[in-house]
Amino acid sequence: MNFLYNKHHHFNLANMVTFANISCGVFAIYFITHGSFFIAAVFAWLGGACDIIDGKIARKYNLSTEFGVQLDSFADFLSFVLVPCMFIYFAIIEPSSSDLNVLLIAFAFIYYVISALRRLIQFNINADAGEVEKYFTGVPTPLGAILLWVIYLIWLTGILAPTVVLFLTILIGFLLNSKIKIPHP
């Protein structure tokens, strides 16, 4: 079991937790596509917990590597970009899509996904394994996901129309690559 604490082993403890995050993302997508939104949300939040834990483990046990940085960004893309977008689409937009403009729907989700992917790639280019900045420039993808979850919860109250949800999705996509400074926890 020494490999769990071997920085250069791809299946070290930090990476295993990241793989758990990816697994939670895959399960969330499965349940989203089958209309089980509560179970999907549970898996999405479990993935978020794994994202917090993997970084803490990597720093505590000096397991940070370039491989881990890339793996973490892939997990972030799955759990904090694709899962919340699919959640918003299948829970809110798809049931009312006959009332919405198809181009607006496509633009909102493609814009959000590309904005988040651009942010993650730029983060990887600028990141040094094991280094933690004092602040983020732009909204980090996990916070973007949380904002989409909040939009979903507000939508459940009946306050937001699906069109407003699409425009808020675009706004959050814009904020991902903005110059806003957000303190790192």
Distance CA 75, CA 77 (A): 5
Tell me how crowded residue 106 is: count the other CB atoms within 10 A of its CB. 10
- DSSP annotation of 158 reads T
Q: Residue 96 — pLDDT band, cuts 50, 70, 90?
A: confident
Residue with tokens 């972030």: 76
* Residue 100 confidence (pLDDT): 83
Four-point Cα dihedral 167, 80, 52, 151, nearest 10: 30
For the chain, percent of residues with pLDDT exceeding 70: 97
3-state DSSP assignment of residue 139: coil
Distance CA 149, CA 135 (A): 23
Query: Does pLDDT of 110 surpass 80?
Result: yes
Element (H, E) at 183: strand 181-183
| Per-residue pLDDT tens digits for 17-34 | 999 999 999 999 999 999
* Residue 153 confidence (pLDDT): 95
* Residue 97 confidence (pLDDT): 78
- DSSP string computed for 47-108: HHHHHHHHHHHHHHTT---HHHHHHHHHHHHIIIIIHHHHHHIIIIIGGGGGGS-HHHHHHH
Residue with tokens 């706004």: 171
User: Lowest mean pLDDT: which of 67-81, 86-100, 148-162?
Assistant: 86-100
* Residue 130 confidence (pLDDT): 56
Contact at 8 Å (CB) between 30 and 22?
A: no
Query: Does pLDDT of 3 surpass 90?
Result: no
Element (H, E) at 153: helix 141-156
- Burial, 12: exposed, middle or buried (Cβ in 10 Å; 0-12, 13-18, 19+)? buried
* Residue 132 confidence (pLDDT): 65
Query: Does pLDDT of 86 surpass 80?
Result: yes
User: Architecture of domain 2-183 in CATH?
Assistant: Up-down Bundle (1.20)
| Per-residue pLDDT tens digits for 119-177 | 999 888 887 655 667 888 899 999 999 999 999 999 999 999 999 999 999 999 999 99
pTM, two decimal places: 0.91
